[in-house]
């Protein structure tokens, strides 16, 4: 098959969904899949079929979610910059709720709902000022971040909610970041949510959403194929003190789909300079931009020589006219040659969904593996 391409292991996806659902069910928790991680229709149909809700951050994501089997009552709509048409569309579709990020947004939603003669269900997104201990570009819960409102602003809305006839204020929403591996962070979030709920006296509200953020193992994806859902939900359950009637919701993306996707790419050229060996591949940063954006690390293997000893280090780079078009520096590989097939692991999340046609390069196509067996290289 022509490279580059994404391959999705659907057996692993189903195994991951089952693991997440089983652990959430122990505590009566609800999971909404974050479409921003990957909106490939084949994956969405499997995820919606498994009974998950959807976490959307644009009007088009809501449309795609509905088209691929997610029920309106399981869709939540987040995002710091919702346009009027997106808000209107969300209200018209009778989704579960809109996560409101500011006082002004609350007023806009109320005006649109009034114009439509409908009631909009809203959860207030509060910025808890909790450090996620993750990359600064994917930290969302510190006071200097653009997301959410302060507890003081939320209090003003809660105290005046009864006068808004077209608003149904259902609860609170929190989100502090992504790719979080330290369970202590989720403990800190739960404790801060407890403090905020006591302060706002919001435990009578039926809806409480703690966001997502659970990370995956990018270093050892073959060993740790499934995220630590057991530890994640256990930590929240141990430290969170919700109201008796509150339903607890989560927005998971990367942890559900991250490990089921791989990017396959073929070596075009090898080059040795005075200081480096380069393996120049046919995939570019337009297919996987995370290393360029965040310095993200992905495990890379030469599967044309899977049983060969590792004898050299290479910078694995793409063809795009940017120095940051690099998938890995000083990667340990066997002696690598033109035509060898490389696999970049853990590309199920934020690879295809962030792809572009930069340099007018075609976006990689997707193939689906139902058996759980790795694709074999073709020479």
First-to-last C-alpha distance (Å) of the chain:
10
Instruction: Give SS3 for 348.
Output: coil
Q: List pLDDT tens digits, range 178-224.
A: 799 999 999 999 999 999 999 999 999 999 999 989 999 999 999 99
Residues facing residue 265 across a β-bridge: 342
- Is residue 174 within 8 A of residue 124, CB to CB? The reply is no
Preceding amide of 365 cis, omega within 30: no
pTM above 0.75? yes
Rounded CA-CA distance 20/30 in Å is 10
DSSP labels, 247-279: EEEEEESHHHHGGGEEEEEEEEEEEE-SS-EEE
148 φ/ψ sector (left φ>0, alpha ψ -120 to 50, else beta): left
User: Does the pLDDT value for residue 174 go beyond 70?
Assistant: yes
Structure letter (DSSP) for residue 374: P
The 10s digit of each residue's pLDDT in 230-265 is 999 999 999 999 999 999 999 999 999 999 999 999
Angle 190-192-195 from CA coordinates, rounded to 5°:
115
Q: Which domains does the chain have, with CATH numbers?
A: 10-257 (3.20.20.10), 259-369 (2.40.37.10)
Confidence of residue 140 (pLDDT cuts 50, 70, 90): low
User: How far is residue 249's CA from residue 211's CA, in Å, rounded to a whole number?
Assistant: 7
Residue 275 pLDDT > 60, yes or no? Answer: yes
* pLDDT of res. 143: 61
Predicted local confidence at residue 310, as pLDDT: 80
Lowest mean pLDDT among 84-98, 127-141, 287-301, 359-373: 127-141
CA pair distance 43, 58, nearest whole angstrom: 19
Nearest to 208 by CA among 221, 192, 219, 197: 197
């Amino acid at each position: 098959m022509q490279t580059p391409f994404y391959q999705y292991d659907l057996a692993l996806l189903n195994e991951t969904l089952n693991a997440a659902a089983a652990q959430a069910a122990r505590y009566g928790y609800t999971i909404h899949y974050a479409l921003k991680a990957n909106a490939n229709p084949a994956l969405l149909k499997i995820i919606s079929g498994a009974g998950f809700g959807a976490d959307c951050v644009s009007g088009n994501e809501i449309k795609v979610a509905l088209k691929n089997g997610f029920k309106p009552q399981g869709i939540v709509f987040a995002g710091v910059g919702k346009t009027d048409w997106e808000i209107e569309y969300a209200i018209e579709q009778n989704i579960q709720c809109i996560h409101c990020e500011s006082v002004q947004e609350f007023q806009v939603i109320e005006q649109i709902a009034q114009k439509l003669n409908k009631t909009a269900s809203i959860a207030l997104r509060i910025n808890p000022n909790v450090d996620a201990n993750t990359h600064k570009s994917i930290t969302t819960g510190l006071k200097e971040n653009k997301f959410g409102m302060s507890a003081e602003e939320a209090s003003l809305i809660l105290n005046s909610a009864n006068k808004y006839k077209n608003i149904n204020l259902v609860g609170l929403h929190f989100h502090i970041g992504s790719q979080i591996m330290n369970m202590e962070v989720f403990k800190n979030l739960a404790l801060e949510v407890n403090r905020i709920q006591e302060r706002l006296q919001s435990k009578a509200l039926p809806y409480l959403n703690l966001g997502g953020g659970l990370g995956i193992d990018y270093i050892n994806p073959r060993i740790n194929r499934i995220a630590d859902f057991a530890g994640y939900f256990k930590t929240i359950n141990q430290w969170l003190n919700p109201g008796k009637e509150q339903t607890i919701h989560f927005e998971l993306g990367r942890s559900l789909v991250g490990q089921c996707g791989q990017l396959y790419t073929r070596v075009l050229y090898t080059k040795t300079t005075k200081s480096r060996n380069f393996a120049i591949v046919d995939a570019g940063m337009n297919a996987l931009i995370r290393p360029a954006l965040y310095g993200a690390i992905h495990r890379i293997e030469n599967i044309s020589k899977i049983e060969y000893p590792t004898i050299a280090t290479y910078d694995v780079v793409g063809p795009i006219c940017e120095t940051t078009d690099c998938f890995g520096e000083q990667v340990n590989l066997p002696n690598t040659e033109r035509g060898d097939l490389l696999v970049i692991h853990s590309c199920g999340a934020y690879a295809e969904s962030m792809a572009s046609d930069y340099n007018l390069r075609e976006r990689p196509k997707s193939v689906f593996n139902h058996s759980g067996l790795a694709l074999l290289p073709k020479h």
